[in-house]
Amino acid sequence: MVEEVVDRARARQWDVRAGQVAIMIHSGSRGVGKHVGAMWRDRARSMWPKGQKFPPEGLFSLSLADQPEAVAGYMQAEATAANYGFLNRLLLAELLRQRLRELFGEVAAPLVYDLPHNITLPVEGPARRWITRKGACPAGLEQPVIIPGSMGAASYLLVGRGSPHLLGSASHGAGRATSRFEMGRRGRETEDLGLAGVDCITLREERRIEEAPAAYKPIGPVIACQVEAGLCDVVARMRPLMTFKA
């Protein structure tokens, strides 16, 4: 639910208002993206110069100057996975709209914005450049930015400021304070998962524990830090009422 509107002009422009029920869908390329990543990691490894020490953490690079065809092939494969993610969210949203219409009659539920947080995108300008964002989202000038909270914390709708020294980017969320493994190890013995007042529906109990609000850093200071740094400005704050975890 939209709990507070901070920037009324932009909220009106995006058809967002206080008290409105908002639906946020967080899903991506799933197995397609995993397959693309694994396949191209193996290909990049096979192209690594013989006798040269492997890079740390197995992050093998491809050279645009020396391997242009491989770079183009990878970019096409990544774009395919990203398009699958866009379509995935589109279909989930439409299925939800149809169900809401069955229950409540005509429901518009227009899309405010759809943005990825793991993707390589071209940079506008005379030079041929790309930015790879991992766990970060585009925050170009006047671009809508969605920074989700956890299942029990606020989420934020913001507007990007196109900060050049921070590559026109913002965070994807607050970031983890506790790993999934650690939450799973002690979760069932932890009474306070931070889900008070929030309905959490899941097919797998371990997901509810792994993704509990207690596993994440407080989102308020994370948002405040990015606003202060000139990455983005807050348009509205949303409070979770119900969460479905697959």
Q: Which residue has the tokens 């979770």?
A: 240
Q: What dihedral angle (degrees, nearest 10) is formed by the CA atoms of 126, 129, 134, 135?
A: -10
What would the 3-class secondary structure string for 42-86 be?
Answer: HHHHHCCCCCCCCCHHHCCCCCCCCCHHHHHHHHHHHHHHHHHHH
Query: Would you say 151 is a known binding-site residue?
Result: yes
10, 161, 172, 237: the active-site residue: 172
Rounded to an integer, what distance in angstroms lies between the CA atom of residue 64 and that of residue 215? 39
Query: Would you say 83 is a known binding-site residue?
Result: no
Residues β-bridged to residue 168: none
Query: Would you say 46 is a known binding-site residue?
Result: no
Query: Would you say 33 is a known binding-site residue?
Result: no
Residue 162 near residue 141, CB atoms below 8 Å: yes
Query: Would you say 155 is a known binding-site residue?
Result: yes
Q: Which residue has the tokens 């439409």?
A: 94
* Backbone angles phi and psi of 195, in degrees to 5: -105, 15
Rounded to an integer, what distance in angstroms lies between the CA atom of residue 37 and that of residue 43? 10
Query: Would you say 240 is a known binding-site residue?
Result: no
Query: Would you say 175 is a known binding-site residue?
Result: yes
Rounded to an integer, what distance in angstroms lies between the CA atom of residue 212 and that of residue 153? 10
**Whole-number Cα distances in Å, 90 to 28, 73, 104, 139, 227:** 11, 26, 21, 21, 30
Query: Would you say 174 is a known binding-site residue?
Result: yes
Instruction: Mark whether 165 is an active-site residue.
Output: no
Query: Would you say 49 is a known binding-site residue?
Result: no
Query: Would you say 165 is a known binding-site residue?
Result: no
Residues assigned a catalytic role: 172
Known binding residues for GMP = 117-118, 148-151, 155, 172-175, 245
- Which residues contribute to the annotated binding site for Mn(2+)? 26, 117
Binding-site residues, please? 26, 117-118, 148-151, 155, 172-175, 245
